[in-house]
Amino acid sequence: MSTFFQLVIEGLTIGSFYSLVALGYTMVYGIIRLINFAHGDLFMVGAFIGWTVLTTLAATHVPWGLGLLAALVIAMLLTAVLGVAIEKVAYEPLLRSSRLSILITALGVSLALENGVLLIYGPGFNTYPHLLTQAGFSIGGVEINDAQIGMMLLSFLLMLGLYIFVHHTFVGTAMRALAVDQDAARLMGIDVENVIRLTFLLGALLAAAAGVMEGVYYTQINFFMGFLLGLRAFTAAVLGGIGNIPGAMAGGLLIGLLEAFGAGYISSRWTDVFVFAVLIIVLAVKPTGLFGERVVERM
């Protein structure tokens, strides 16, 4: 039984990273129906910016807590700028073209980000400073360390913040409105292109936060990490019902759990088969995902 709970803790920790990244996929899809293949790479870029800040500060005598905060904030801000720049340069001109051309552009951006980081940081693994102790506590044989608690708490706070923004602020309402009907949103005086950019910005913020957390948690990062995580996060978004924000959060946690259980009870080599098989079965039974809203029928 303790193995089970151990896996739950493990799964929720990874899952919270997936959730943060899945939110970016789902928000962008909800608004412009684009599977933003470059999104997972923003997570990777965030991890590298965080690494740069942390290793730079490590040479000085900044306390590590402060350094971590700086790494998180700077990574989030710079990645957000990058996310918006990508939207402006590579996606906005194609918003009215065929959906496949913008999809291929996203693939191109993804490759460019990966190879750009490869050029700057090299092909090997970069190692985050070991900031987290293994200290923790144990309940009934289940080991929970402080890092896991911290990660989950931070993810939760970020997601809560996003939820409040989207559901309880004016601009968030505008965002949901233009996901329903862009032209009607324009007629309300909403600068639709601006709100789309804001969506990319928010997605990039969360992805970068997840990137830094992943770096701190696993300590090993490389230019290819965004691809693998992006794939799972995207799966999480679809599983939860793409376009659906709480769905993406739940989907991420669920994928994390599936991964942990798959690795714990079957074999880590088969984890992805397990994850994708569940996805395919869910979609076959419920074609709009677990929490997917039914598409409004029109006459």
Partner 1 sequence: MGLLEIRDLHVAYGKIEALRGIDLDVAEGEIVALLGSNGAGKTTTLRTISGLLRPRSGQVLFAGTEVNRLRAHEIVALGLGHVPEGRRIFSSLTVDENLKLGGFLLRKRPNELTRRAQSLYETFPRLYERRTQLAGTLSGGEQQMLAIARALVLKPKLLILDEPSMGLAPKLVHMIFSIISKIRAEGVSILVVEQNARQALRTADRAYVLESGRIALAGPARELASDRRVRAAYLGGDATAAG
Partner 2 sequence: MTNIAATRRGVPYAIAAASILAVVVLPFVSSSYVIDVATTIITFAVLGLGLNIVVGYAGLLDLGYAAFFAIGAYTTALLETLGHQPFWVTLPFSILFAAISGIIIGYPTLRLRSDYLAIVTLGFGEITRIVATNLGITGGPNGIYGIASPTFFGHALASPRAVYELGLGFLAVVLVFTSRLTRTRLGRAWISIREDETAAEAIGIPTLKVKMLAYVMGAVVGGFGGSFFAARFGAIDPTSFTYLQSVTILIIVVLGGMGSTPGVMLGAAIVAGLPEALRFLQLWREFVFAIGLVVLMLVRPQGMWPAPLRRRVTLPPLAAEDESLVPIAVEPGTSDVLLEVDGLSRNFGGVRAVNGVRFGIRRGEILSIIGPNGAGKTTVFNCLTGVIRPTSGRISWLGSSIVGLAPHRVVGLGLSRTFQGVRLFANMTVYENVLVGMEPRYRTSIPAAVLGLHAASEEDRRHLLSCRRLLRFVGLEERAGERAGDLPYGDQRRLEIARALASEPRLLLLDEPAAGMNPTEKRDLMGLIRRIRDGGITVVLIEHDMMLVMGVSDRIIVMDHGEVIAEGTPAEVQRNDRVIDAYLGDDEQETDGELRQEELSAWDS
Residues that bind partner 1 (CB under 8 A): 170-171, 173-174, 176-177, 180-181, 183-192, 293, 296
Q: Which helix (H) or strand (E) holds 247?
A: helix 245-261
When CB distances are held under 5 to 8 angstroms depending on the partner's kind, the choice from partner 2, partner 1, none that residue 191 binds is partner 1
Of the pair 146, 191, the CB lying nearest partner 1 is at 191
Q: Smallest gap, in angstroms, from Cβ of residue 210 to partner 2?
A: 20
What does DSSP say about strands 142-145 and 136-139: parallel, antiparallel, or unpaired?
A: antiparallel
The residues facing 138 across adjacent strands are: 143
Contact status: 154 vs partner 2 (CB under 8 A) = no
3-state secondary structure of 285: helix
- Rounded least distance, CB 267 to partner 1, Å: 42
Which one among 2, 3, 97, 127 touches partner 2, defined by CB under 8 A? 97
* Assigned token pair, 190: 């909403």
**Nearest distance, CB of residue 119 and partner 2, angstroms:** 6
Q: Which residue has the tokens 């009870």?
A: 265
Whichever of 130 and 186 has its CB closer to partner 1, that residue is 186
Segment interacting with partner 2 (CB under 8 A) among 8-16, 197-205, 211-219, 276-284: 276-284
Residue nearer to partner 2 on the CB measure, 73 or 231:
231
Question: What CA–CA distance (Å, rounded) separates 228 from 214?
Answer: 13
Torsional class of 98: left (φ above 0), alpha (ψ -120 to 50), beta (otherwise): beta
Tell me how far apart the alpha carbons of residues 32 and 30 are, in angstroms, rounded to a whole number. Answer: 6
Q: How far apart are CA 61 and CA 117, in angstroms?
A: 28
> Which of 26, 105, 155, 222 lies at the binding interface for partner 2 (CB under 8 A)?
105
Rounded Cα gap, residues 162 and 218, in angstroms: 25
Is residue 279 part of the contact set for partner 2 (CB under 8 A)?
yes
Whether the CA torsion 119, 67, 18, 147 is positive or negative: it is: positive
Residues in the chain: 299
Specify the 3-state DSSP secondary structure of 6.
Answer: helix
Angle between helix 225-240 and helix 39-58 axes, rounded to 10 deg: 130
Please, which residue, 114 or 214, has the CB nearer to partner 2? Answer: 114
Residue from 3, 101, 138, 220 touching partner 2 (CB under 8 A): that is 101
| Dist CA 206 CA 170 (whole Å) | 20
C-alpha distances (whole Å) from 17 to each of 10, 76, 109, 226, 259 are 12, 14, 22, 12, 13
The interface with partner 2 within residues 215-254 (CB under 8 A) comprises: 231, 234-235, 238, 242
CA distance 157 to 159: 5
Question: Among partner 1, partner 2, none, what binds residue 184 when CB lies within 5 to 8 Å by partner kind?
Answer: partner 1
Residue from 33, 130, 167, 186 binding partner 2 (CB under 8 A): 33
Out of partner 2, partner 1, none, what residue 183 binds, judged by CB under 5 to 8 A for its kind, is partner 1
Q: Give the integer Cα–Cα distance in Å for 103 and 100.
A: 5
Closest contact distance (angstroms) between CB of 238 and partner 2 is 5
Q: Which residue in the set 118, 139, 153, 160 belongs to the binding site for partner 2 (CB under 8 A)? A: 118
Of 104, 164, 171, 180, the one binding partner 2 (CB under 8 A) is: 104
Q: Which residues contact partner 2 by CB under 8 A?
A: 29, 33, 35, 90, 93-94, 97-98, 100-105, 107-112, 114-116, 118-119, 231, 234-235, 238, 242, 269-270, 272-273, 276-277, 279-280, 283-284, 287-288, 296-299
